[in-house]
Amino acid sequence: MLDTCYQQLAMVYWNGAGSNVELECGVGYSAVLKGFYSIRSGVFMSGFELDYRLEADCFHLGDLPLCRVLLMNDSQYPWFILVPKVAGVSEAFHLDEEQQLQLACESSIVSGTLSDLFEADKMNVAALGNVVSQLHIHHIVRYENDIAWPNPVWGQKPVQPYDEEQVKEIRKKLQSLFDCFD
């Protein structure tokens, strides 16, 4: 049933259908975009703290219904990280069923949006957690001519931090992503 929901959600997203589409899994598309939880309610944010390493290495770009959206401070790759705002979670299966669905939907929409906005050759999406155990999902835009291609980006080259203007431009570029969840 969830596979059908994801397929329909992808079709709605890619075909630009209206935001009031009802999916076969019983979830309205607008409900998925707005999330099963209200950010303002703090239901799942209670006790949530971003790991100090993610805080130090990333810029906070904004929040989706379930996830905080971060930009890794390495300008060699458009590298974004989704962090579910749920305390004490290190694995996706630790989330409840609705949170798992919300995470999958947010990740899918973020991946598609990043691929389009940054004209990716390939999207790398992964949750490793070997160093930082807090559940976080990397969404890395890859190009066949990037400095690490085709290898993973981790540890390939020294970090090249963003300057303030570059971060401002990326925030502006991603505003449409945050607007679709309002």
Q: Extract the tokens encoding 29.
A: 């598309």
Angle at 2 between CA 105 and CA 25, to 5 degrees: 95
pLDDT of 96 above 80: yes
- Could you read off the pLDDT of 105-127 as tens digits, one per residue? 999 999 999 999 999 999 999 99
Q: What is the DSSP string of 103-150?
A: HHHHHHHHHHHHHHHHT-SEEEEE---SS--S--EEEEEE-TTSTTTT
What is the reported pLDDT for 151?
A: 95
Coil, helix or strand at residue 179: helix
Contacts of 129 (CB under 8 A, 6+ apart): 90, 91, 135, 136
Per-residue model confidence (pLDDT) at position 179 = 86
Q: Is 161 in contact with 72 (CB distance < 8 Å)?
A: no
Decide which of 8 and 158 is more confident.
158
* Comparison of pLDDT for 169 and 179, the residue scoring more: 169
Question: Which of the two residues, 120 and 176, has the higher pLDDT score?
Answer: 120
Distance separating alpha carbons of residues 97 and 94, to the nearest angstrom: 9
What does the domain layout of the chain look like in residue ranges?
Answer: 1-34, 39-179
91 vs 88: CA distance, rounded Å? 9
pLDDT for residue 182 is more than 90: no
The whole-number pLDDT of residue 25 equals 46
Q: State residue 36's pLDDT score.
A: 44
Query: pLDDT, tens digit, for every residue of 48-74?
Result: 999 999 999 999 999 999 999 999 999
| Whether 79 contacts 57, CB under 8 Å | no
Report phi then psi at 12, rounded to 5. Answer: -60, -45
Q: Say which CATH class 39-179 falls into.
A: alpha beta
pLDDT in tens, 12-23: 544 544 444 454
Q: What is the pLDDT of residues 136-175, one digit of tens each?
A: 999 999 999 999 999 999 888 999 999 999 999 999 999 9
pLDDT higher than 60, residue 47: yes
- Answer yes or no: is pLDDT of 2 > 90: no
**CA 119 – CA 115 distance, rounded (Å):** 5
Position 155 scores a pLDDT of 86
Q: What is the mean pLDDT of residues 14-43?
A: 46
Q: What is the pLDDT of residue 60?
A: 98
